[in-house]
């Protein structure tokens, strides 16, 4: 990373830091944005994911020599945006809805370059879960790893065993699509 462009990760997610490290990027600074993540009335999932990534990046104060990167991962079942699993009951409901079905993991990335130019990319990954028994759902909920996660699961953990088909970016489902991220950072002068 050129010294004139310091990178700010607008996220408190350890997964996003780990994913950036996979491509040799270590943010200079971490800043968790505080924004309202409620979907707007009638908002479609793709628009929602991109809007949140842009709002997260814009919510972080940026020095003139800093580049900001933010991301959002949204799970969509058809045109419906699935919420994060804030409680075990919500998580159980989400996993029941995803059981035996295909869904979209939409992972949006926004980079605000040092010159203020805003660039975005969206990764759309199709994920199909096997039919899940009530016992499998109960066991997964009990392990605790999907709590707080979009769609109620963490693909990088035990839920990967539920995936019978995936088309797209595995890293995007985890939380930051590396192909798109690398391209955006290169365009902003952070990645060669």
Active site residue 65: no
Instruction: Report how far residue 129's alpha carbon sits from residue 147's, in angstroms, rounded to the nearest whole number.
Output: 18
Closest by Cα among 148, 121, 127 to 46:
121
104, 75 in Cβ contact below 8 A?
yes
Find tokens 């050129």 and name the residue. 2
Q: How far is CA 54 from CA 41, 97, 155, in A?
A: 18, 29, 24
147, 91 in Cβ contact below 8 A?
yes
Query: DSSP characters for 129-149?
Result: EPPPPHHHHHHHHHH-TTTTS
Give me the catalytic one of 72, 93, 115, 138: 72
Q: Please, which residues have CB within 8 angstroms of residue 42's CB and are 6 or more apart in sequence?
A: none
Q: How do strand 6-9 and strand 29-30 relate by DSSP bridges?
A: parallel
CA angle in degrees (0–180, nearest 5) for 50-120-35 = 45
Query: Which residues are marked as active site?
Result: 72
């Amino acid at each position: 990373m050129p010294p004139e462009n310091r990178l700010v990760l607008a996220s408190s997610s350890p997964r996003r830091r780990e994913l950036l490290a996979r491509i040799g990027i270590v943010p200079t600074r971490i800043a968790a944005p505080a924004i309202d993540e409620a979907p707007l009335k009638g908002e479609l999932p793709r628009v929602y994911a991109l809007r949140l990534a842009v709002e997260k990046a814009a919510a972080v104060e940026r020095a003139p020599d800093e580049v900001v990167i933010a991301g959002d991962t949204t799970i969509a079942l058809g045109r419906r945006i699935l919420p994060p699993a804030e409680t075990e009951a919500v998580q159980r409901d989400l996993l029941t809805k995803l059981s035996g079905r295909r869904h979209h993991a939409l992972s949006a990335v926004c980079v605000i370059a040092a010159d203020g130019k805003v660039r975005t990319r969206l990764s759309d990954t199709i994920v199909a879960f096997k039919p899940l028994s009530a016992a499998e759902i109960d066991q997964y909920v009990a392990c605790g790893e999907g709590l707080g996660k979009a769609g109620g699961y963490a693909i990088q953990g035990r839920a990967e065993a539920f995936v019978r088909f995936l088309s797209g970016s595995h890293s995007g489902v985890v939380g930051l699509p590396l192909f798109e991220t690398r391209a955006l950072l290169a365009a902003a002068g952070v990645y060669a």
